[in-house]
Amino acid sequence: MAFVSSAPSSCFTSRNPLSLHPPNRSALRPLHPPPPPRTLRMSTSRRDSYNITLLPGDGIGPEIIAVAVDVLKAAAARHQVSLTFQSAHIGGVAIDNTGVPFPQETLQKCKSAHSILLACIGGPKWDSQPRGNRPETGLLSMRKDLQLFANLRPATVLPQLVDASPLKPHIVSGVDIMVVRELTGDVYFGIPKGLQIDPKTNERVGFNTMIYHAHEIQRIAHLAYQIAEKRGKQLVSVDKANVLDVSQLWRDIVTELSPQYSDVHLSHMYVDNAAMQLIRWPKQFDTILTGNIFGDILSDAASTLVGSLGMLPSACLGDGSGPGVFEPVHGSAPDIAGQDKANPIACVLSAAMLARYDLDRPDIADCIRQAVNDTLDAGFRTGDIMSPGMTLVGCKAMGEALVQRVQQKTTV
């Protein structure tokens, strides 16, 4: 199953990066006292009815989100919870219909919802768009406008799919990793950035700025510590402090917060070593904390352990004052769009994360996750996770099997 990656885009600026000088580190002083510890808050209180905004996006997006909605509805009904849905455009389909990848109407629908379920965006159809108006730019705009600073990417190797991993079973069996990635800072958002001509050499130059403010590191670190407390109490912070000043600040602040979480064991790892260790010995990791660009790379590397991007959900969270966005980590796969070949499980598991983190309904989340396990136990497989002796099904049939198992359960 082929997926299209969604690499973020950069914008143009007239500022000259060659005129910038590195700061004097000894002169840096905090302007304000550090903020108090941030807790992982739900965006809404527990209730019996919720409003969810759907962003089907491009390619296989409409197919997989339809399955996720069916499963979410069935699980909610088992717990006497009412769900209403409204749809909006993002990405390439938004460009086609409105001229921009993240229209204001979509933003308003997102802000008015209790939570947001996103499928996937992008595709070669829109590669000729100006860089500032490509589908991926809409994704970055959404994260910024909704103040979603934390990306949670679990990589869990299910026992039914150990053989689907490209690594040996004894390496991946039992792997359960949570990557906590900062989402609104770093080189993806740093200014200045762009493309220009160096006036001294008349040579083309491309540049991005890697930058983090202390409060950005503090808030994501607090969240990672709190997640580690609920998991295996092991936190690895990944940086490149041996060569990057911004990583040294990252390491300093993460370390300063450690005494507030005395039950969590903190260790540090350089990003190049972390990438190697994820493949060499992934079971050493429980919770990984890292910045935007390193997290983008490492979370995709971790996804390889599972065997298919079609199995991996994610959550984008803020401080709890507004809705989060929940989405599979894979791309829009335009080569199989409309062919009923897509694996909807990543989107279904994203809906489970939505129920847990945004709706404060772990009962619904557990119901969905159990249905996924039961369906895999029954041998149903889409093409990307197919193995001998299993039953090959398409996207719709996988959805029907999942809904059936939700409805048939006597206890959830």
Domain-terminating residue out of 281, 306, 331: 306
356 in a domain, yes or no?
Answer: yes
Please say if 377 is a catalytic residue: no
Domain-terminating residue out of 258, 286, 306: 306
The reply to whether omega before 124 is within 30° of 0 (cis) is no
pLDDT at 293 over 80: yes
Q: Examine the domain organization and report whether 73 and 170 are in the same domain.
A: no
Weakest-pLDDT range from 160-164, 326-330, 350-354: 160-164
pLDDT at 213 over 90: yes
233 in a domain, yes or no?
Answer: yes
- The DSSP secondary structure of 40-89, one letter per residue, reads ---SS---SEEEEEEEEESTTHHHHHHHHHHHHHHHHHHTT-EEEEEE--
Please say if 125 is a catalytic residue: no
Q: Examine the domain organization and report whether 128 and 183 are in the same domain.
A: no
Nearest Cα residue to 155 out of 303, 271, 293, 274: 303
Cα 143 to chain centroid distance, Å, stands at 11
Domain-terminating residue out of 290, 306, 322: 306
84 in a domain, yes or no?
Answer: yes
Catalytic residue among 176, 300, 335, 374: 300
Q: Examine the domain organization and report whether 242 and 146 are in the same domain.
A: no
| 194-198 and 203-207 strand pairing | antiparallel
Q: Examine the domain organization and report whether 178 and 254 are in the same domain.
A: yes
Q: Examine the domain organization and report whether 283 and 195 are in the same domain.
A: yes
What is the spatial distance between Cα 352 and Cα 336, in angstroms, rounded to a whole number? 25
4 in a domain, yes or no?
Answer: no
Catalytic residue among 186, 286, 296, 384: 296
Confidence of residue 17 (pLDDT cuts 50, 70, 90): very low
6 in a domain, yes or no?
Answer: no
| Angle subtended by helix axes 245-257 and 214-230, to nearest 10 | 50
Q: For residue 132, which phi and psi values (nearest 5 degrees)?
A: -75, 0
3-state helix, strand, coil in the chain (%, to 5): 45, 20, 40
- CATH code for position 119: 3.40.718.10
Weakest-pLDDT range from 42-56, 149-163, 286-300, 373-387: 42-56
Q: Examine the domain organization and report whether 291 and 188 are in the same domain.
A: yes
Place of tokens 């749809």: 87
pLDDT at 200 over 90: yes
- Average pLDDT (298-325) is 91
Q: Examine the domain organization and report whether 232 and 359 are in the same domain.
A: no
Task: Provide the total of helices (H) and of strands (E) in the chain, helices listed first.
Answer: 12, 14
> Based on the structure, what is the number of domains in the chain?
2
Nearest Cα residue to 296 out of 183, 211, 219: 183
Q: Examine the domain organization and report whether 116 and 211 are in the same domain.
A: no
Which amino acid is residue 165, in one-letter code? S
Collect all residues with Cβ–Cβ distance below 8 Å to 24 and sequence separation of at least 6: none
The model's pLDDT over 330-350, given as tens digits with 9 standing for 90+, comes to 999 999 999 999 999 999 999
Please say if 200 is a catalytic residue: no
Q: Examine the domain organization and report whether 117 and 233 are in the same domain.
A: no
Catalytic residue among 163, 245, 272, 377: 272
- Average pLDDT (162-171) is 91
Instruction: Give pLDDT, residue 228.
Output: 96
CA Rg value for the chain? 21
pTM of the model: 0.84
Please say if 73 is a catalytic residue: no
Instruction: Give pLDDT, residue 360.
Output: 92
Q: Examine the domain organization and report whether 296 and 378 are in the same domain.
A: no
263 in a domain, yes or no?
Answer: yes
186 in a domain, yes or no?
Answer: yes
pLDDT at 28 over 90: no
Adjacent-strand bridge partners of 52: 85, 115
Q: Examine the domain organization and report whether 230 and 297 are in the same domain.
A: yes
Q: Examine the domain organization and report whether 183 and 299 are in the same domain.
A: yes
What is the extent of the structural domain holding 186? 166-306
Catalytic residue among 70, 186, 188, 357: 188
- Average pLDDT (112-138) is 93
407 in a domain, yes or no?
Answer: yes
- Mean pLDDT (the chain) is 88
What is the spatial distance between Cα 182 and Cα 223, in angstroms, rounded to a whole number? 10
Confidence of residue 123 (pLDDT cuts 50, 70, 90): very high
Nearest Cα residue to 5 out of 100, 144, 136, 153: 136
Catalytic residue among 109, 193, 240, 341: 240
- Average pLDDT (384-411) is 91
